[in-house]
Amino acid sequence: MEIQNQKTSAPEIFEIWDIFESYIASVIIYVLILEALVAVLFFLKMRDAREPTVRHSRRRNGKLSRPLGSLERVLLERERVNHWGTVSSVLLLDSAEKLKQDHLIKALGLLPKRFPLLRMRINQSGSHECFEEMENPETVDFKVLDEIAANEWEKGFEEEINGSSFNTDTGPLWRLRLLKETLHVGKYRNALVFTFHHAICDAQSIFKLQQQLLSFLSSMHDGEDFKVESLPLRPPLESLTSSLVKPNIWERLLFKSVFALQRVKNIFVKPKNLYLSFYPPVADSDPSVMKKTCLLGRSLSEEDTKLLIKNCKSNKCTVHGAITASTHLAITRLLQKKKQDLNAPVTVESSYSVSLRKDCQPQVSSDDFGAFISASVLSIPVPSVDLTDKRGFWQFARACAREVHTQVDSGKHRNALKFYQCIDIRSYCKMSDYKHNEGRRSHICNINNYGAQSTNLSEESLFKIAGSYFGVQGAKTSHIFGNNIMTVDGKLYWAVEYFPHVTSKTQAEDFTDLTLEILKGASV
């Protein structure tokens, strides 16, 4: 399964623990007995207080607005409390002509007309936060960074992802930076660095926005007339999926009880991370190292991408299963490098994002812009598989794919949205605000795989995609390695987040290169 039905992100992109399996049944029963009477009596009142009376968009003082949903409120609060969730995406373009900045500025001004959430700020004056159109709905935050060249796009990414936070009171909740144009193999190369507040979008939405921008630029270059029609401002994800994610009274009791237990547990016990037990955080030995989010960009050629897909099909496996297997095997080998007598199988904890667009009613199209994601966790025993053992690799990859399919089919990934509707969101975010292990959770890596995408550009188009990479801010709290993958026009692009106060660049490169070596080795 290419995780179109699949780190919200998109990235999408947030951390969830396995709520139902974390505690023994007897402890939960005792807590339920203590809380049941109070919870039942206040259930109706609690439900009414948590849910705004209007979920759909409406005009407020002449401005389009709607309340934030639970997921959006979590993403908003994670940014405030944990400085987590800003999403930056780098789009590399090659062309035979210089990029006309006046065309780019005009095209950027059209994007808010197409995507309503680009016109929004967050109004926090009432009892519930609301998206509300800005004073000037077509405001665009655009700058040219001439001091950073397009071929140094990783530096441009770092500049933006670790830059200033968005002013949610005034908006806009997105911005674009254009790096200095360079020459690359006889073509003009441009790097566009988009940055978004995670509350307004997932990674698939970002790509669709970039696709729309390229369409505008191509039409302007060719002198074609076109009309821009606004997409609707969709209700929150919880409203669109209410038949699947609205918790019943017993689920509310269960989630509230688990949350209470987790809060108590966090006072005494901090999450343990297997990777950091072998490779302690860099900041432990060098407190002066800067705390930030960095990115490594890699790609497979069109030929290697086709070969990977072909081998996945012939081995009855999904691309996501192969990616999961290669990342987990790479982690295990890095652990064994530190401790050669480490016994297999080694259980590696990870997480992955899941698109909920197909669960929405009415169904949300691929063109809609917003945060339509959830996430789930994996805890997989990783066998000892030699680099030359292709059969062993594909056997493990199929096991990974089956586990993901089983979780998605069971609806486990929807528990996150149910959970958010039952808890105090600020308290939940504060639980992750700790210094132990530089704020790392127990899972070692996250996988956001957004499958195969197409720019729909013709062969005669002015622009060709030379790279598409994205990452999520996680310097204060997150995983160890974030894998953000997207196949665009037949070529797979892979970006790995790392945090230099947690792991060195060398360690991140070792993980990234070993992962791709394993993946390509199994596909030859």
Three-state SS letters, 262-291: HHHHHHHCCCCCHHHHHCCCHHHHCCCCCC
How far is Cα 153 from Cα 319, in angstroms, rounded to an integer? 27
How far is Cα 267 from Cα 105, in angstroms, rounded to an integer? 50
How far is Cα 330 from Cα 521, in angstroms, rounded to an integer? 13
How far is Cα 6 from Cα 3, in angstroms, rounded to an integer? 4
34 occurs within a structural domain: no
> Do 218 and 255 fall within a single domain?
no
Q: Looking at this protein, which amino acid is placed at residue 166?
A: F
Domain final residue pick, 222, 254, 269: 222
> Do 399 and 462 fall within a single domain?
yes
Q: How many CB atoms lie within 10 A of CB 230?
A: 12
Which residues on neighbouring strands pair with residue 182, listed in sequence order?
A: 189
> Do 328 and 420 fall within a single domain?
yes
> Do 311 and 210 fall within a single domain?
no
What is the chain's pLDDT, residue by residue, as a tens digit (524 residues)? 434 433 334 333 334 334 444 444 444 544 454 554 454 445 434 544 444 444 566 666 778 999 999 999 999 999 999 999 899 999 999 999 999 999 999 999 999 999 999 999 999 877 789 999 999 999 999 999 999 999 999 999 999 999 999 999 999 999 999 999 999 999 999 999 999 999 999 999 999 999 999 999 999 999 999 999 999 999 999 999 999 999 999 999 999 999 999 889 888 888 899 999 999 999 999 999 999 999 999 999 999 999 999 999 999 999 999 999 999 999 999 999 998 888 889 999 999 999 999 999 998 999 999 999 999 999 999 999 998 899 999 999 999 999 999 999 999 999 999 999 999 999 999 988 888 899 999 999 999 999 999 999 888 899 999 999 999 999 999 999 999 999 999 999 999 999 999 999 999 999 999 999 999 999 98
Q: Strands 481-488, 120-123: parallel, antiparallel or unpaired by DSSP?
A: unpaired
Give the CATH number of the domain where residue 212 resides: 3.30.559.10
Q: Cβ(136)–Cβ(120) under 8 Å? A: no
Phi, psi of 327 (to 5 degrees): -65, -40
**Reduced to 3 states, what is the DSSP secondary structure of residue 307?**
helix
Please give the torsion angle defined by the CA atoms of residues 56, 109, 167 and 84, in that order, rounded to the nearest 10 degrees.
Answer: 80
Three-state secondary structure readout of 381-441: EECCCCCCCHHHHHHHHHHHHHHHHHHHHHCHHHHHHHHHCCCCHHHHHHCCCCCHHHHEC
Three-state secondary structure readout of 80-136: HHHCCCCEEEEEEEEECCCCCHHHHHHHHHHHHHHCHHHHEEEECCCCCCEEEECCC
> Do 270 and 183 fall within a single domain?
no
> Do 448 and 349 fall within a single domain?
yes
Q: Cβ(160)–Cβ(153) under 8 Å? A: no
Assigned token pair, 440: 């790392």
Closest CA to 354 of 409, 317, 400, 299: 409
> Do 79 and 184 fall within a single domain?
yes
How far is Cα 416 from Cα 19, in angstroms, rounded to an integer? 9
Q: Cβ(209)–Cβ(453) under 8 Å? A: no
172 occurs within a structural domain: yes
> Do 200 and 104 fall within a single domain?
yes
CB contact set of 105 (below 8 Å; sequence gap of 6+): 140, 142
Phi-psi region of 521 (alpha: psi -120 to 50; beta: other; left: phi over 0): alpha
Closest CA to 157 of 88, 87, 204: 88
> Do 174 and 317 fall within a single domain?
no
> Do 289 and 180 fall within a single domain?
no
Domain final residue pick, 156, 187, 222: 222
352 occurs within a structural domain: yes
> Do 416 and 457 fall within a single domain?
yes
174 occurs within a structural domain: yes
Number of structural domains, the chain? 2
> Do 251 and 326 fall within a single domain?
yes
DSSP 328: H
58 occurs within a structural domain: no
DSSP 449: E
Domain final residue pick, 177, 206, 222: 222
How far is Cα 465 from Cα 220, in angstroms, rounded to an integer? 18
Q: How many CB atoms lie within 10 A of CB 243?
A: 8
442 occurs within a structural domain: yes
Phi-psi region of 316 (alpha: psi -120 to 50; beta: other; left: phi over 0): left
Long-range contacts of 454-458 (CB under 8 A, 24+ apart): 454/488, 454/489, 455/211, 455/214, 455/488, 455/489, 456/211, 456/215, 457/214, 457/218, 457/489
CA distance from start to end of the chain: 21
Helix, strand, coil shares of the chain, percent, nearest 5, are 45, 20, 35
CB contact set of 173 (below 8 Å; sequence gap of 6+): 117, 118, 120, 121, 122, 166, 196, 197, 199, 200
Give the CATH number of the domain where residue 438 resides: 3.30.559.30
CB contact set of 284 (below 8 Å; sequence gap of 6+): none
215 occurs within a structural domain: yes
In angstroms, what CA-CA distances link 378 with 104, 128, 343, 416? 42, 34, 20, 14
Q: Which residues constitute the domain of residue 160?
A: 63-222
4 occurs within a structural domain: no
R_g over Cα of the chain: 23
Quick one: pLDDT at residue 103?
97
pTM of the model: 0.90
